[in-house]
Structure 1
Amino acid sequence: MKVVLTRDLEGYGFFGDVIEVKKGFANNYLIPRGYAVPATEGNVKHVQEVLRQKRRKIEREKKKAEELAKKLEGVVVRVTKPVGEAGKLFGSVTASDVVSALKEQGIEIDRKSVVFPHAIKQVGLYTITIRPHRDVSVEIKLDVKPEEKE
């Protein structure tokens, strides 16, 4: 039986794929759970239209992410944290720290797009990655400074 997948299904295909499966598998598992619909002409056209709309949305998001990446090129983010002996931080630098520091510079990003190579627990200069889209990433400098004691 031919069905059109309405969700990505590991081992079988991705959203919009028309696949051939056994009738019992389709009627007892895929269709009732919403993983697929029968591959009628109308269902195939509907899923293809949804795919086109998703592609356009992804393209718009990618363009916005590329513009953001251009803004971020060459940016140095400064974060001040309380430190103990030998420049060791109390805790570590978090994505929220980076987001708020960028916000002060007029750049808005999502906390989930900040990627650290490792936990940052020392004062110093680091390179971190900002990934606003799965296909777009940019490396920026993170300058961790000790908080001034009064």
Structure 2
Amino acid sequence: MEVILLERVAKLGQMGETVNVRPGFARNFLLARGKALRATEGNKKHFEAQRAQLEARNLERKKEAEGVAEKLNGKSFTLIRQSGETGVLYGSVSTRDLAEIVTKEGFSVDRGQIVLNQPIKTLGLFTVPVTLHPEVEVEITVNVARSPEEAERQARGETVIERDSFNLDDLGLEVGAALAESGEEGGEQA
């Protein structure tokens, strides 16, 4: 299906370009969110008549996004979550959680603007991209910790969790005792 883009769409094209996309993507995303129009003769004429207004509105939004980007870029946010001893969270941190914490700090960010390829499921520091405008992207740092004190330690670069240390002695198991209980000695049955 051919559509006329009303704004820049990443990995697709610039404003005003006529592109060929799959019908489902056009109906469910581009047309539904007002990012494109069907490429009919009437819509092409309508777009050309409105082009100057659309470009002015796009430029205004971009300037607003750049203003927010200057304040938001590189900012760090702390999320307190419960986790197990190995640092794996009992839940996960999603784009909704990140949007809420950024909005509480005074920035107007929608969860659709936060780019998470997969949810955050462990403690630690994470760099997360935020797309404020199709042409303006910033990065924030998310510090996921169990307590504010632990978050401060992580921010200083300290390791809070020993993830790779697995020791049978920590579990209270002794190989010799386990073998004696099962009646085995040195690999032979008694």
TM tier, smaller: 0.5 to 0.7
Q: Deviations over 1:57-107 (max 9, x none)?
A: 111111111111111023101111221231111221111111111122111
The Cα of 1:147 is off from its aligned counterpart by 5.4
The Cα of 1:117 is off from its aligned counterpart by 4.7
The Cα of 1:53 is off from its aligned counterpart by 1.2
Q: Which residue of 1 aligns with 2:40?
A: 36
Within 5 A, what are the aligned runs for 1:66-81?
Answer: 66-81=66-81
Gaps of 5+ in 1: 1-5, 18-33
TM-score (norm 1): 0.67
Which protein, 1 or 2, shows the higher relative CO under an 8 Å CA cutoff with sep ≥ 6?
1
Gaps of 5+ in 2: 6-14, 19-37, 149-190
| Alignment size in residue pairs | 119
TM-score (norm 2): 0.54
Superposition RMSD in Å:
2.8
Q: Which residue of 1 aligns with 2:60?
A: 60
Secondary structure, in 3 states, of the residue corresponding to 2:91? coil
Q: Deviations over 1:19-65 (max 9, x none)?
A: xxxxxxxxxxxxxxx63226xxxx84x53221111111111111111
**Alignment-mate amino acid for residue 140 of structure 2:** I
Say whether the 8 Å CA contact 1:69–1:136 is kept in structure 2. yes
Larger Cα Rg: Structure 1 or Structure 2?
Answer: 2
Identity, % of aligned positions: 29
